[in-house]
Structure 1
Amino acid sequence: MRILIIICAFFCITSEAISQDCSTFFPMNEGTKFQITVYDKKDEVSGIMDYVVKEVGGNTATMFYEMHDEKGKMLNSSEYSMNCSDDGVTIDFSSMMSPEILGQYEDMEVEMTGTDLLYPNNLSTGQSLPDADVFMTVKMPPINLKMNMNFFNRKVEGKESVTTPAGTFDCYLITYDSEAKMGFKMTNTNKLWLSEGHGMVLQETYNKKGKLIGKSVLTAFNK
């Protein structure tokens, strides 16, 4: 029995170490907490997302988040998974659907399919990244409401230093286009600053005319 416990402990420790080391850019340590604050086009707070790495097992981390409005009222909570390997981190496609949208249909039957979002562990300027998408069907008898989001033209533009309330970070700048279809089509361009060990530090979204319509900022990070 003692030998079995020692072997089990060894594999548990090894498994956790692999989970922490196989992700270059995203935190995979259990208990890590961080906060993303969302701003609207007027640079006013429209929402706050509090994240925690809830559980780590093997090469998979379960992320839990709560979303609050600008007054601190909780709007929604959910969780999703991140999987890491030598190639990089794949993020569950369900996380790409807006939490505000998911919150509207939390009491209904929802089906989602899609392609996970991949972030390679090794990034370089000029590198193209794979597309991703998510398709959601909300069953509302006698009809089904269908929505989908696509992320494409993902490209690493270079390195930049970014300062937020959480600190100053050396980042890779990634640009991409996004398209949402929910009875109508909306296309935006996006800039994402990604930091080693911290994940997203800053994201900006622009409309077709190139006008900034919103941004998300890393405002707190605690390992």
Structure 2
Amino acid sequence: MKRLMFLVAAILGCHSMQAQYFCTTEGTELHYVNYDEIGQSTSNETMTVSKVAKADGKVQASYYDKIVTTKAKNNTSYTLFNWSYDGTNTVCSEDLMYGPYIDSDSDPEKYNEAARLGLLEKLKFKGDNSFTIKDEAKGGESIPDRSYQVVRNMLKNEVNISGAAYMGNETISTTAGKFDCVKISYLQRTKIVLKTTTLRVTEWYAEGVGLVKSEAYDTKGKLDSKTLLVKIVNK
């Protein structure tokens, strides 16, 4: 009973503002598990909500993401997601420069716009890796294509998102709770040097939370990977 009450309190805390598809309660931790094609855990992620603010008529928040890979040396990496909501659209952009900044043994507390811009040039980032979730989007409504490229580990990575569309609403249940989600699907093509991988990705997002579930399938319909929100901790 106590565990149930704790989970309910955590979920309610993360739903403090219902309109946007991200959490605005600072300190909240969103715990995820990533699985491979046979259902084995490959990594755990902890996203911590930080820097919640209102600016230029928008609600903003950052998710600092710590990723711990299962059974691997040097298995911890980091990334950062920046969210905003203008009253109609929720926009999320992964800051692909944050991970390389941390990997260079720089102080996370000193990461700022100047550091980000310097890495943008160094890693030759081009394009748009943000995505938008519209309020009250209808099933079948298309989402604009987008693409970006960045140099990782001295290799050029090119990512193209196409054929994206809203697939309606669906209720998803995990160990973190029960969530009413908007469902989105798209094709993701990733090219690294001469190797190209194409996946059909489907994602479920809940208001006041963010990503709840994600599944990726290859072009033959075989499961490639899955991500689940497994716990919400409100600190």
**Short-chain TM bin:** 0.7 to 0.9
Q: CA deviation at 1:146?
A: 1.5
2:44 pairs with one of 42, 45, 48: 48
1:9 corresponds to which residue? none
Match of 1:117 in 2: 131
Structure 1 residues 36 and 132 mapped into 2: Cα distance closer, same or farther (>3 Å)?
farther
Deviations 1:85-135 (A, max 9, x none): 12312112435x9x9xx66x9449423232221111222212212223221
Displacement of 1:23 = 4.5
Residue identity matched to 1:192: E
The residue that corresponds to 2:27 in the other structure is 31
One-letter identity of the residue aligned with 2:162: F
Deviations 1:171-210 (A, max 9, x none): 2221111010111111110111122222111110000100
Match status 1:207 vs 2:209:
no
- Structure 2: distance between partners of 1:23 and 1:132: 25
Q: Hey, what does 1:4 align to over in structure 2?
A: none
Greater relative CO (CA pairs within 8 A, separation 6+): 2
What is the one-letter code of the residue matched to 1:219?
V
Determine the C-alpha separation between the residues in 2 that align with 1:23 and 1:46.
32
Q: Structure 2: how far apart are the matches of 1:24 and 1:46? A: 30
Give 1:37 shift: 0.7
1:76 is the counterpart of 2:74: no
Aligned mates of 2:173, 2:201 — CA distance in 1: 18
After the TM superposition, which residues 121-200 of structure 1 pair with which residues of structure 2 at under 5 Å, given as runs? 121-138=135-152, 140=154, 145-183=155-193, 184-200=195-211
Q: Greater CA radius of gyration, 1 or 2? A: 1
Letter in 1 for 2:217: Y
TM-score, L = length of structure 2: 0.73
Q: What residue identity is the alignment partner of 1:151?
A: I
Deviation beyond 4 Å, 4+ runs, structure 1: 20-23, 71-74
For residues 180 and 138 of structure 1, the distance between their equivalents in structure 2, rounded to whole angstroms, comes to 13
Q: CA-atom RMSD, angstroms?
A: 2.7
Q: For structure 1, which runs of at least 5 residues remain unmatched after alignment?
A: 1-19
Structure 2: stretches of 5+ with no match in the other structure? 1-15, 105-118
Cα pair 1:94 1:112 within 8 Å, conserved: no
Q: Is the 8 A contact 1:93 1:134 kept in 2?
A: no
In the alignment, the residues of structure 1 paired with residue 201 and residue 62 of structure 2 have an alpha-carbon distance, to the nearest angstrom, of 26
Structure 2 letter corresponding to 1:152: S
Moved more, 26-35 or 46-55: 26-35
Aligned 8 A contact 2:65 2:80 in 1: yes
